[in-house]
Amino acid sequence: MFENFKNIIDFYIRQKIRFSRKNYCAEKENVESIFKGSDKIASRREQELGEKYNLTLLKENNTEQNYKENLYTLDILDKYLKVTSSDELKILDIGSKNWFYAKGEHLFFKAHANRLEITGVELDAFRLYSNLYSRYEAAQFHIKGLENTKYIADDMLNIKGKFHYITWFLPFVKKEPLMYWGLPLKFFMPEKLLEHAYSLLDEGGKMFILNQGEEEYEIQKKLLKNLNIPFEEIGEVKSEFLAYKHKRYGFIV
């Protein structure tokens, strides 16, 4: 009860004050040959993605870690999400945090559309990092130069309209992670959020959900079944670029 009360107060203050240092900019590092000689498998996969997508966007003004994270995002979308190319695509990313992977997402979907519109939504966008930049300010840096890309600080339940594809990385399906990340318990409503997200899919659209750990994967599966939402299990999601402490598992809705 105390932890929830503390989260309620902290979240209220973040939303009202919305403090952040301005003009966030990550220190640029050389990412041209970070895999060559050290990881042949990752290097080969990087080359494959480079032949299919122009990786220049990912390499410009980037750190080594963020380059790997965006390659990871591009890699798993390329492997597991089948997209039908169209003249126009509208994409929604739910729970974007500071949207550090925006370039990878944009690069993937742009390859399938002449006109791309991509929206990221984050409830706790004004959470501060130790350097006193907020998620919101960092997100503006990560989406800079990405055509028709916007980051919205809002509750996902307020999002309206229809989207051809939705990505949802690490949704809160257990209370403990939500509390750990400083959110009040009133925002723990995984079934309601999932139902709303599904309602935002255009006819024939798809949603890619990525969960952390087997327990959350099983909870996610139960939620989908309870709502009678059709889905395909991907199982464990793997990439040559990053291996997280907790394995990740995916669904296609």
CATH of the domain at 198: 3.40.50.150
Per DSSP bridges, beta strands 163-169 and 113-122 are: unpaired
Helix/strand/coil for 148: coil
Mean pLDDT of the chain: 95
What separation in angstroms does the CA of 96 have from each of 148, 151, 168? 16, 8, 8
Question: Is 65 contained in some domain?
Answer: yes
- What pLDDT does residue 3 have? 92
Q: Say if residue 163's pLDDT is above 90.
A: yes
The tens digit of pLDDT for each residue in 100-122 reads: 999 999 999 999 999 999 999 99
Question: Is 29 contained in some domain?
Answer: no
Q: Is the pTM of this model over 0.75?
A: yes
Question: Is 114 contained in some domain?
Answer: yes
Report how many domains make up the chain. 1
The boundaries of the domain holding residue 236 are: 2-18+34-252
Question: Is 144 contained in some domain?
Answer: yes
Which helix or strand (DSSP H or E) is residue 244 part of?
none
pLDDT band at 34 (very low <50, low <70, confident <90, very high): confident
Question: Is 26 contained in some domain?
Answer: no
What is the arithmetic mean of pLDDT over 196-207? Answer: 97
Q: Say if residue 38's pLDDT is above 80.
A: no
% of the chain exceeding 90 in pLDDT = 90
Lookup result for tokens 């907790």: 246
What is the arithmetic mean of pLDDT over 38-63? Answer: 91
The tens digit of pLDDT for each residue in 85-102 reads: 999 999 999 999 999 999
Distance in angstroms (rounded) separating the CA atoms of residues 116 and 219: 33
Q: Say if residue 199's pLDDT is above 80.
A: yes
196 burial via Cβ count (<10 Å: 0-12, 13-18, 19+): middle
Question: Is 241 contained in some domain?
Answer: yes
The tens digit of pLDDT for each residue in 124-160 reads: 999 999 999 999 999 999 999 999 999 999 999 999 9
- What pLDDT does residue 33 have? 80
What is the arithmetic mean of pLDDT over 43-47? Answer: 93
Question: Is 27 contained in some domain?
Answer: no
- What pLDDT does residue 2 have? 86
Question: Is 137 contained in some domain?
Answer: yes
